[in-house]
Copies of this chain bind each other. A is one copy, B any other.
Amino acid sequence: MIVILKPNPNRDQLDSLIAWLQEKGVVIHTSVGEHSTILGLVGDTSQLDADLIAALDIVEGVRRIQEPYKKANRKFHPEDTVVQVGNTQVGGGNLTLMAGPCSVESEEQVVAIAKAVKASGATLLRGGAFKPRTSPYSFQGLGAMGLEFLKVARQETGLPIVTELMDMSQLPLFKDVDLIQIGARNMQNFDLLKAVGQQDKPVMIKRGMSATYEEWLMSAEYVMAGGNPNVILCERGVRTFETYTRNTLDITAIPVLRKLTHLPIIIDPSHAAGKSWLVDPLARGAVAAGCDGLLIEVHNDPATALCDGPQSLRPEVFDTLARKLLTLHETMKTLEG
């Protein structure tokens, strides 16, 4: 951490700052310049509050040098993390296809879709039972019954299931779920992150709509700090000024996160675009850029889906896409050596 002092700092205040920093076990290197004096703080600065130091009268500014996350940081954990989800593995060179309906609507629906997507190559079944909806007047999901239908579909197909947890009070219902999804709107619901950090199921954290990489990784850090190392990151588009699409998919997240963290990276082209005809090109781009998997909405009757129909693919369209993506993934492996 670097502390830039204002010109001619009050000597007493400077001495008391230095004493306080030394007490924290930090070694201080001082550089005196013509216009400003700089303190270089060396040691474990993670417990220092940069904002607090910046607020001191004698301080012009503070610059952080180290990332504020540790357990999620590739620097301290160089190997890729591979997360075991039921009978499948996320990360480690696989291309994981998670597919299924936005909302679970009935046992028949989810079983039929599960069978279809499995046949196309999906290895995880997604489906919403508890649904975050902008309007209190919209369909809020089947809740506990939706979870039961997902379990039936798992029994019929063997596909592990991933579904969204919206509040920690629902956690007991999720003890039989294979992968817990934290939605974009809850990315900084810190109590929820703590709760899933204190249990042992894998957790997939969607990026908040206007979150930076660092904020997202700090949310992963919350879960990991609680003792749960099985975290997957899912990019689902960020908010930009463009209104033609619902959000703007950020594929740069793939190589950047690959460098910053060891956690697997999944891409959700369905929610990012909000339009089914964009899922195919975005999924292709994400695979070519090196993601570990995709989360894709598939519905047997998108036009009458209870939610998010516009972005769902019919099973036959998903089938063509899935085969193309798996081939592309193999090609990329060859090209990348």
**Chain A residues within CB distance 8 Å of chain B:** 2, 4, 27, 29-36, 38, 40, 42-43, 46-47, 49, 51-52, 54-57, 60-61, 63, 65-66, 68, 132-138, 140, 166-169, 185-186, 188-194, 209-215, 218, 221-222, 225-226, 238-245, 248-252, 254-256, 259, 272-274, 276-278, 281-282, 284-290, 302-305, 307-310, 324, 327-328, 331-332, 335
* A55 proximity list for chain B (CB < 8 A): 276, 302-303, 309-310
A71 to chain B, nearest CB (A): 9
Name the residue on B nearest A134 (C-beta): B218
* A194 proximity list for chain B (CB < 8 A): 136
Cα-based distance from A63 to B38 in the complex (angstroms): 12
Cα-based distance from A34 to B256 in the complex (angstroms): 25
Using known A-B contacts A137-B47, A288-B284, A289-B284, determine if residue A328 contacts B335 with beta carbons closer than 8 Å: yes
* A259 proximity list for chain B (CB < 8 A): 277
Using known A-B contacts A47-B137, A132-B188, A309-B55, determine if residue A212 contacts B63 with beta carbons closer than 8 Å: no
Whether B251 lies near A278 (C-beta < 8 A) is: no
A249 to chain B, nearest CB (A): 6
Nearest 8 Cβ contacts at the A-B interface: A29-B31, A33-B42, A288-B288, A31-B40, A285-B289, A55-B310, A167-B191, A210-B210
Instruction: List 16 additional contacts besides A54-B310, A211-B241, A240-B250; criterion CB under 8 Å.
Output: A2-B40, A33-B40, A36-B65, A57-B303, A60-B65, A167-B167, A167-B189, A212-B242, A213-B244, A243-B243, A248-B250, A248-B252, A256-B278, A281-B289, A328-B331, A328-B335
Query: How many copies of this chain?
Result: 4
Using known A-B contacts A241-B241, A248-B248, determine if residue A310 contacts B276 with beta carbons closer than 8 Å: no
Cα-based distance from A65 to B211 in the complex (angstroms): 26
A235 to chain B, nearest CB (A): 11
Whether B331 lies near A135 (C-beta < 8 A) is: no
Q: Is the interface of A mostly helix, strand, loop or mixed?
A: mixed
A48 to chain B, nearest CB (A): 11
Cα-based distance from A132 to B187 in the complex (angstroms): 12
Whether A63 lies near B63 (C-beta < 8 A) is: yes
* A33 proximity list for chain B (CB < 8 A): 27, 40, 42-43
14 contacts between A and B (CB under 8 A): A33-B42, A34-B42, A36-B65, A132-B190, A135-B221, A212-B241, A248-B250, A251-B285, A252-B272, A254-B281, A255-B281, A256-B278, A284-B289, A288-B289
Cα-based distance from A136 to B281 in the complex (angstroms): 32
Cα-based distance from A272 to B133 in the complex (angstroms): 27
* A32 proximity list for chain B (CB < 8 A): 42
Using known A-B contacts A56-B303, A167-B191, determine if residue A242 contacts B255 with beta carbons closer than 8 Å: no
Using known A-B contacts A134-B218, A169-B168, determine if residue A238 contacts B244 with beta carbons closer than 8 Å: no
